[in-house]
Amino acid sequence: MSRGPLRRWHRIRKPTTLLVLFLCRITHAFSGTDLARDVSDLRQLQPWRVSQVNANVAPPAQSCGIANLGEYNIVRLDLQLAPEVTDSDANSRISALDRNVTTFLSNRHWAPRKMASGRAGIPDLTRCSQKQAAVAQIYKTTGRCTMGSPCTVYDGFTVVLYLPKTISIAKEASK
């Protein structure tokens, strides 16, 4: 009696293995589409100011450790709150946006990118996530500091997307 189920398993094992291999190839083939959807959906979270960044402006320590920036199209999404927003309201809005973007990236399977220990200030440039060959860098910004007081209020948020030039979504992301 134990041989019956075992024989059935051997009959379905090979087609199942082939199906898994096929699905892996399909998933890999549509990976650019998956990234394009992520970028599009990320852009829908806020009314971002979108800009294309020159690849020669940041050293690897400030660009998620990417040494070959010339191989990437860099798209920057910025949100800046109005100066009329109170300090406490600005902090709470930016913190909420930070949580939303972090959750979004996590839910879409962007993994935290291991960074060398370095300075974490304003902005903290060590918060990077990666999905396939694309990298997202997120940080809070402030425009409310003075020379004589420490920066304790965040009123801006930035997402920098490092998108490989080999993936066609980089052009779409900057529109």
pLDDT, tens digit, 9 for 90 and up, residues 5-33: 555 545 544 444 433 333 333 334 334 67
Mean pLDDT, the chain, rounded, equals 77
Sorted by where each begins, the domain ranges of the chain are 31-173
Average pLDDT of 98-114?
A: 93
Higher pLDDT, 76 or 68: 76
Find the helix or strand (DSSP H, E) in which 99 lies.
helix 87-107
Least confident of 32-36, 50-54, 56-60: 56-60
Average pLDDT of 116-129?
A: 66
Find the helix or strand (DSSP H, E) in which 138 lies.
strand 134-141
Most confident residue range from 9-13, 63-67, 171-175: 63-67
Higher pLDDT, 48 or 63: 48
101 neighbors 127 (Cβ within 8 angstroms): no
Helix (H, G, I), strand (E, B) or coil at 2: coil
Q: Where on the phi/psi map is residue 64: left (φ > 0), alpha (ψ -120 to 50), or beta?
A: left
Looking only at the bridges linking them, the beta strands covering 111-112 and 72-80 are unpaired
| 46 pLDDT tier (thresholds 50, 70, 90) | very high
Per-residue pLDDT, 80? 95
Per-residue pLDDT, 17? 43
Per-residue pLDDT, 24? 39
